[in-house]
Structure 1
Amino acid sequence: MAFVLLIPSARRKTQWNLYLTRRNEICTPLNRPDFSPNLSGKRGKAFRFTNAWEQRKLGAIVQITMGQSPDGSTYSDTPADYILVQGNADLKNGWVCPRVWTTQKTKFATAGDLIMSVRAPAGSVGKTAYDVVLGRGVASLKGNEFIYQSLVKMDFDGYWKAESTGSTFESLSSDSISTAELYCPSEDEQHKIGIFLSRLDSLLTLHQRQQNGGYLWLENSAKQVCFAIITASGYRSTKKALSDQLR
């Protein structure tokens, strides 16, 4: 029987070599004692999923607030006023970065809320460390770290781009956000998975600084592989699932 080997282009081979190299660099620390994926928090005892994951609508598990822009005459550059978040331009490295203020309080989000851009590029998500006023280009969600990581993955997978409407300027409606479905474990397991992925984010940030931001798409790809494995692992311990797939 003939054996056929498909050879990719030189450019594609280079891209995959870069991806696999960066993936190994990023995921190697998962085996260190100080970065243990044992989500139970106890060394030597691997965490196992104990409950079935349920498919839930986003609006049924988090409070969603769509933004409403204040009057243009109320905008200011005075930090003593309310911080105004209008869109993706106000999010930097996953966090709200204040640049515009307003004296008018319309729709509001509190520190710790998640902020999602609902206009081009629709679906970008971050967090806020401040109480902020929401412009019409964003929405806030009161969700935990697991919800945040789920939304990031949905954006990475292009889910929100497919859901957005508008031929000139894409946008997301309240209904398209609230009816979006995702799989969720118990709250306890959400908390543990959220902590693990948050620590992985910190590791990626360190690598980005060391590489001056280079290969960002490769690092994000490696993280999404980790998230997909956790989501699909079910009965297996997270550590075994990761080591099986990423070594």
Structure 2
Amino acid sequence: MSRVPRIRFKGFEEDWEQRKLGELADIIGGGTPSTLNLEYWDGNIDWYSPAEIIDQIYVDRSQRKITELGFENSSAKMLPEGTVLFTSRAGIGKTAILAKKGCTNQGFQSIVPYSNKLDSYFIFSRTEELKKYGELVGAGSTFAEVSGRQMGNMQLMIPKTIGEQHIIGVLFSTFDRLITLHQRKLEKLKTIKKSMLENFFPQNGEKTPKIRFSGFIEDWEQRKLGEIVKEVNRVDENSNAPVMMITANDGFIEQSERYSTDNAGKSLKKYILLKRWELAYNHGASKIRPFGSCFALTRAANIRIPFVYHCFLALEDNPEFLEHTLNGKNVENQLRKIVSSGARMDGLLNISFQEYTSIFIRCPIRKEQDKIAILIKSLDHLITLHQSKLEKLQKIKKSMLESMFV
């Protein structure tokens, strides 16, 4: 077994050593004051429960607080800043670092590093390792739980010097800050897009949206979908166009990303050949789109997609505008009334092309459609860009975690 990591900071050459976690830190549980005594609660001492530990790195304010009297009359222990909280019951292995002193209930076995032996962020960066160990040793009991003694017996390979631990911790702290920054930017962009979709399209029977581009004042016209689109069912057995499918989250994706292309078998010859700017409605239910999802093909000249999709082209309207309209709440409410009896055995909703195109939508003139589509497309581009940066950072961090620890 190698005693040095594959990647190392310059100046560190000694082998890492195997130590028990209990030799490097105190493992401390928690407790709960009596909930029947009101004098124990709503004080100024932070008191954490496992449900509060989600995906944050640092915590500095608990949802519930206890009083000095409550603290003194419970088995809760005061934990110093820098403690790594570790959930020890069902949901074993969630971690966070205390940004200021506080205490926990009995659902934790928290790690209080010895200042000259273990760096807080170094051990926090090994959360997955801690989690796997905790789940393994806690699995034998009727109620999954890992004890302080069990956590203290965990074997770890660590650098002999606290300096090397610290510099590794600083590196992963930097990664985590960058990842958090991009996650926040991504969520902000998604929130902006959600708000735009709500405000740039009429809601609840209104004839105009709340926000419009300058120069457009006419009411949006209500139209039956079947009157503004034409069904597409072309097939080309000799086509070499990529085989794709629709997911509610990502739109068109390569079918091979989810299944083997051979999964289609002989039915591949029946796949519909969809051309750029044409649309397809996948009437498969999903959590985020319980009544299916519709997407316009914009990134390829031709693709082949399952013949069970309802495919069509827009006669005069902007396909990207139609995509956003057809994925809106107004259409979802109409589909809820049309779908006859939930999903079939193949997971598809019971709705024919004729039924789907019997819905009504509101449309502005083509120029306004184009402006709305361009604006949303610009936002989608920014979202994709930040998503790509985020995924790249996460991959780099994962690679470094594999290379910088023994």
TM-score range for the pair, normalised by the shorter chain length: 0.5 to 0.7
Q: Secondary structure of the residue that 1:59 maps to in structure 2?
A: helix
Match of 1:153 in 2: 128
Question: 1:74-120 CA deviation, whole Å, 9 max, x = no partner?
Answer: 56773x42111121424551233410111211322122211111112
- Aligned residue identity for 2:147: S
Structure with greater contact order relative to length (CA < 8 Å, sep ≥ 6) = 1
* Contact 1:107–1:135, Cα closer than 8 Å, also in 2: no
Q: Work out which of the residue numbers 156, 161, 174 in structure 2 matches 1:199.
A: 174
In structure 2, distance between residues paired with 1:220 and 1:99: 29
Q: Work out which of the residue numbers 82, 92, 110 in structure 2 matches 1:122.
A: 92
* Contact 1:88–1:117, Cα closer than 8 Å, also in 2: no
The Cα of 1:225 is off from its aligned counterpart by 2.1
1:223 matches 2:397 = yes
Evaluate the alpha carbon distance shift between residue 38 and residue 179 of structure 1 in structure 2; reply closer, same or farther with a 3 A threshold. Answer: closer
- Aligned residue identity for 1:225: S
1:172 matches 2:142 = no
Aligned ranges 1:86-101 → 2 under 5 Å: 86-96=49-59, 97-101=61-65
Aligned ranges 1:138-149 → 2 under 5 Å: 138-143=108-113, 144=119, 145-149=121-125
Question: 1:189-229 CA deviation, whole Å, 9 max, x = no partner?
Answer: 11111111111111111221233296989865642321120
* Contact 2:84–2:124, Cα closer than 8 Å, also in 1: yes
- Aligned residue identity for 2:64: V
RMSD: 2.9
What residue ranges of structure 1 are gaps of 5+ in the alignment? 1-36, 40-46, 233-247
* Contact 1:87–1:117, Cα closer than 8 Å, also in 2: yes
Match of 2:105 in 1: 135
Match of 1:67 in 2: 30
Q: Secondary structure of the residue that 2:165 maps to in structure 1?
A: helix
- Aligned residue identity for 1:141: I
> Normalising by the residue count of structure 1, what TM-score does the alignment of the two structures yield?
0.65
- Aligned residue identity for 1:209: R
Rg larger in 1 or in 2?
2
> Normalising by the residue count of structure 2, what TM-score does the alignment of the two structures yield?
0.41
In structure 2, distance between residues paired with 1:218 and 1:116: 28
Match of 2:287 in 1: none
Evaluate the alpha carbon distance shift between residue 59 and residue 208 of structure 1 in structure 2; reply closer, same or farther with a 3 A threshold. Answer: same
Match of 2:158 in 1: 184
Match of 1:16 in 2: none
